[in-house]
Amino acid sequence: MTELPAEATNLLTTSQKSATEVHYTHLGHMSEKEVSTSNKTACQTPAILRQAAYERRRSEHLHENAVFGLEIAQECWEASTPGVHSSVSE
């Protein structure tokens, strides 16, 4: 079982599994050929999995600052919906 890195990253960000658990699960599902040749490229290390999950979470935020992120979301919502909008900051 060789999951794509994106699938492994998605698993880490949406489940309670740790990077170490995912790593050992991948090791357990490696083919005999991969094991006999010591080919671990299909099974990333826990550190790499943690970094990928961290980068995925960061990419899903609009901004590091939560207030700025809400302001960006509000501006996007206002731009996407017709009509008059009231604003809290006005």
For tokens 């990253």, the residue is: 9
Structure confidence at residue 88 (pLDDT): 59
Question: Stretch 62-72: mean pLDDT, rounded?
Answer: 77
Q: Is the pLDDT score of 5 beyond 60?
A: yes
Q: What is the pLDDT of residues 34-52, one digit of tens each?
A: 777 776 666 678 888 888 8
Q: Provide the residue type at 46 as one letter.
A: P
CA 77 to CA 5: how far, in whole Å? 32
CA 19 to CA 17: how far, in whole Å? 7
Question: Stretch 26-39: mean pLDDT, rounded?
Answer: 79
pTM for this entry: 0.50
CA 9 to CA 31: how far, in whole Å? 21
CA 58 to CA 70: how far, in whole Å? 15
CA 15 to CA 3: how far, in whole Å? 16
